[in-house]
């Protein structure tokens, strides 16, 4: 009896393909935030980290979604690429890619950062996972040439990949002492609230893409 059921399952798989097992259109969208300390919530309580507050904001709007925090403090774009497979498990519907701040702080060649991010986006596309790319800007004290090369990474990637694009993850928060911790680099809880409020419409666009693909 068990063998017969297994054979029937195999037949269904080959006859209908993976789409036969696709999640229902109204099932919660599974999102992973692949990032660095901005996502990880450096020294903040878990509930104040960006993924947790973003999940709360979506819930408050009645949007069914789960958000996993795959932020690692100190991580670079290359580090995110190295851990991509286990940070983004099978069954993930969408990924918010938030990487690059540490590359800029360390003065890593923008070509290296761009190549790593490009590889992340390509691999996620191959897995049919919807993506939001959250941009970063280099510190202005890195020099005009470096700033120009680094800041150009994200718009260039957004123009060549089918992603939801949010140009600057720290928009409205960067360098504001009231919204950052003492290092004026990592958002405090109030700063995370600002990020979430500004990011939310783009996240809703990302979720809409997932739901649209489920219905196609």
pLDDT for res 198: 98
pLDDT at 4: 41
Question: Residue 36's pLDDT is what?
Answer: 98
pLDDT at 129: 98
Model pLDDT, residue 1: 42
Whole-number pLDDT of residue 79 = 98
Q: Which domains does the chain have, with CATH numbers?
A: 27-215 (3.40.50.1110)
The list of the chain residues with pLDDT below 50 reads 1-21
What confidence score (pLDDT) does residue 170 get? Answer: 98
- The pLDDT value recorded for residue 215 is 75
pLDDT for the residue 23:
66
For the stretch 115-141, pLDDT in tens is 999 999 999 999 999 999 999 999 999
Taking only the tens place, the pLDDT of each residue in 196-215 is 999 999 999 999 999 999 87
Q: Residue 172: what pLDDT?
A: 97
Active site residues: 37, 183, 186
Helix, strand, coil abundance in the chain, percent, nearest 5 = 55, 15, 30
- Which residues, in sequence order, are CB contacts of 113 under 8 Å at separation 6+? 76, 77, 78, 100, 103, 104, 150, 153
Give the model's pLDDT for residue 22. 57
Cβ 16 vs Cβ 52: under 8 Å: no
The per-residue pLDDT for 2 is 36
Looking at residue 146, its pLDDT comes to 98
């Amino acid at each position: 009896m068990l063998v017969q059921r297994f054979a029937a399952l195999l037949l269904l798989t080959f006859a209908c393909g993976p789409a036969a097992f696709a999640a229902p259109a109204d099932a919660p969208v599974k999102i992973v935030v692949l990032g660095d300390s901005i996502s990880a919530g450096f020294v903040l309580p878990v509930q104040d980290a960006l993924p947790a507050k973003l999940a709360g904001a979506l819930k408050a709007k009645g949007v069914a979604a789960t958000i996993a925090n795959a932020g690692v403090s100190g991580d670079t774009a290359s580090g995110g690429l190295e851990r991509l497979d286990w940070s983004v498990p099978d069954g993930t519907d969408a990924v918010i890619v938030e990487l690059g701040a540490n590359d800029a702080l360390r003065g890593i060649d923008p070509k290296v950062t761009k190549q790593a991010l490009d590889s992340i986006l390509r691999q996620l596309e191959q897995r049919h996972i919807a993506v939001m790319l959250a941009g970063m800007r280099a510190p202005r004290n890195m020099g005009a040439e470096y700033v120009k090369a680094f800041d150009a990474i994200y718009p260039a990637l957004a123009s060549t990949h089918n992603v939801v694009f949010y140009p600057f993850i720290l928009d409205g928060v960067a360098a504001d002492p009231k919204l950052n911790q003492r290092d004026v680099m990592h958002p405090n809880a109030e700063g995370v609230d600002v990020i979430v409020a500004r990011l939310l419409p783009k996240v809703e666009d990302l979720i809409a893409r997932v739901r649209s693909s489920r219905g196609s």
